[in-house]
Chains A and B, each alone.
Chain A
Amino acid sequence: MHTSEHSEKPEKFIIPMGPQHPALKEPGHFEFTVAGEVVTDASVRLGYAHRGIEKATETRNWAQNLYLLERVCGICSHVHATAYSLGVEQLAGVEAPPRAQAIRTLVAELERIHSHLLWLGVAAHEAGFDTLFMYSWRDRETVMDILEELTGNRVNYSANVLGGVKVDVNDEHAGAIRRGLDFLETRTRHYLEVVTSDPLFVRRTRGIGVMTAGQATRLGVIGPTARASGVARDVRIEAPYAAYPDFPVASVLAEAGDLEARFVVRLQELFESFRVIRQILDNLPPGELEVKRMPRRIKPGEAISRVEAPRGELFYFIKSNGTDMPERVKIRAPTLCNMASVLTLTVGHHLADVPMILVGIDPCFSCNDRGVIVRHGDGDRGDGDHGDRGHEHWTWERLRQYGIDYYGGQER
């Protein structure tokens, strides 16, 4: 702790992190107050990727909005489209045919696999374990290829239409999916072993960022972050939608509540995804892909639609005024709920643990290199920038490296 000569009160060191980087989907700006190595306070400022999508929905028709909303997120595009479609269908009083619901569920689980593997790589990278990063992203290509073959796209699959889906699954697809899943299942088993047994990696995760079930509930944490603390929150189980009533998933929980548990829960969830996808392929209901008629104007009303995105509950509130455009679409994405946990959990932890705690909620903004300014109260540690005494410029890369060095590790 540095103290100023002129003041008896200890100065506060605030480390701002973020916000901007072109590679980010959701840039965020954090300010961590530190006392020596230990974080004592944290705050967040979001909105750097705010595109006014909620407002934009009010000037587009119901069908156009499907394509807009799919672009809310570049990782979980399908769940946004699914949440919206289910909500609009609820307002219109139509129900997509069983085959469409099964395909929606199938794509949602494929998306979860790609998202969790993407996260595994990013999280491994933040810990300096680049070998795991490279392998997991290589394997993730398997599911990306499946998605591309099935829908024609790697990211915005656009599988949904209002009242159904526009992609069908034939025997050829089913074969390719089964082969891909067999490979990924073997790999996932291996990764689960690595993240729970590699001594250097475990040092970065075991007992770090512990959140008790009570804390998780109080902080309103959702998704795998909550389930890793033993809180059974999963919309697929609590309020099954699409084809989940027919193809139920089992809850994957861990009690430890630390970063390691968040790895274990996400990886174990993949086995449930593999199982459910195979079950859907074995029992794909025959029939139509869309309803006969989806109205262009939707009768007035309000609907709430909740789905389980890879990061947790995605909440849509949709209000119709009887026209061909919505009156209001409210989207509450899971990261917003989990963000509060980062602010709470980093307090009391070492600065070196911040990257891993951040990445532990899977916030989608980790694979980046961002400008960080460290302000020193007495300016005695300017880092070569003598013209700007008292300010030190850090990058995310430097903070990441700091964490790796702190734990005496080497990049692997």
Chain B
Amino acid sequence: MNSVTELLATAEQLLSSWIQSQETPGPNRLDVVVAVYDLLPAVQVLQQSGWGYLAAITGLDLGPEAGQIEVLYHFCSGAAVVTLRVPIERDAAVVPSLCGAIPSAGVFERELMEMFGVTVDGAPNTDRLFLPDEWPEGVYPLRKDFEPNP
């Protein structure tokens, strides 16, 4: 069994060509910023080398003033968690779909699309997953400027 340190070192090495900046928020974590155009190759290299599995995709709206959304792809292997942090423009929020490499990403991507208004380019299924059919178009409830009780 690889130790957490070794697992994180392996991931860091695998991802080295795409890392723009990195942090270690905890002893078991590696948080790297990856440009949106580097996301697919970075995910593919993790996938091909069998490093962990995609545990979740988190959307983070930094707010209208910051004008950015961050999409966090969390990969887990044992106790180690690697987060690929992809900053995108809030007004032109597009990320590529991971489904080609990881079919199970589909449900996470559908949630990201409807909750944050992020377009997932190449997603095989863009139907709503959680929001009701009558939910208005273009209203994204997990964006910071959404008012739950207007």
Contact = CB atoms under 8 A, between A and B. Distances in A.
Given A220-B54, A313-B55, A332-B55, A302 B25 contact: yes
Interface stretch (A42-50, A63-71, A131-139, A394-402): A42-50
B148 interface: yes
Contacts of A218: 103-104
A220 B75 CA distance: 11
Contacts of B79: 238-240
A55 B141 contact: yes
B48 to A, nearest CB: 13
A340 B107 contact: yes
A68 to B, nearest CB: 14
A43 B58 contact: no
Interface stretch (B10-18, B33-41, B88-96, B122-130): B122-130
Contacts of B142: 54-55
A266 interface: no
A340 B106 contact: yes
Contact of B130 (A47, A238, A303): A47
Interface residues of B, number: 36
A337 B54 CA distance: 10
A47 B131 contact: yes
Given A217-B53, A239-B28, A313-B55, A304 B129 contact: no
Contacts of A292: none
Contact of B127 (A45, A56, A339): A45
Given A332-B55, A332-B56, A340-B106, A304 B78 contact: no
Given A313-B55, A315-B74, A330-B56, A47 B128 contact: yes
Contacts of A247: none
Contacts of A239: 28, 78-79
Interface in A27-67: 43-47, 50, 52, 54-56, 59
A90 interface: yes
Contacts of A377: none
B127 A317 contact: no
Contacts of A44: 107
Interface in B68-93: 72, 74, 76, 78-79, 81, 83
Q: Give the secondary structure class of A's interface.
A: mixed
Interface string B95-113: 0000000111011100000
A55 B104 contact: no
A300 B81 CA distance: 20
Nearest to B115: A54
B21 to A, nearest CB: 15
A47 B132 contact: yes
A85 B107 CA distance: 26
Contact of A55 (B26, B125, B146): B146
Interface in A293-341: 301-304, 306, 313, 315, 317, 319, 328, 330, 332, 336-337, 339-340
Contacts of B125: 43
Contacts of B46: none
Contact of A50 (B31, B56, B131, B146): B131
Contacts of A291: none
A317 B103 contact: no
Contacts of A46: 129-130
Nearest to A332: B56
B148 A340 contact: no
A306 B28 CA distance: 12
A54 B28 CA distance: 25
A373 interface: no
Nearest to A231: B53
A144 interface: no
Interface string A218-244: 111000000000000000001110000
A317 B56 contact: yes
B104 A317 contact: no
Given A340-B104, A340-B107, A220 B53 contact: yes
Contact of B141 (A52, A59, A90, A336): A52
Contacts of A238: 78-79
B147 to A, nearest CB: 10
Contacts of A330: 56, 58-59
A59 B25 CA distance: 25
Contacts of B83: 304
B104 A337 contact: yes
- For the complex of A and B, 6 pairs with smallest distance between CB atoms: A47-B130, A239-B79, A220-B104, A332-B56, A330-B58, A50-B130
Given A44-B107, A301-B25, 9 more contacts: A55-B142, A218-B104, A240-B79, A304-B26, A306-B55, A315-B56, A330-B56, A330-B58, A340-B103
22 contacts: A43-B125, A46-B130, A47-B131, A47-B132, A50-B130, A50-B131, A55-B142, A218-B104, A220-B53, A220-B102, A220-B104, A303-B25, A304-B83, A306-B55, A306-B76, A313-B76, A317-B74, A328-B58, A328-B60, A339-B107, A340-B103, A340-B106
Interface of B: 25-26, 28-29, 31, 53-56, 58-60, 72, 74, 76, 78-79, 81, 83, 102-104, 106-108, 125, 127-132, 141-142, 146, 148
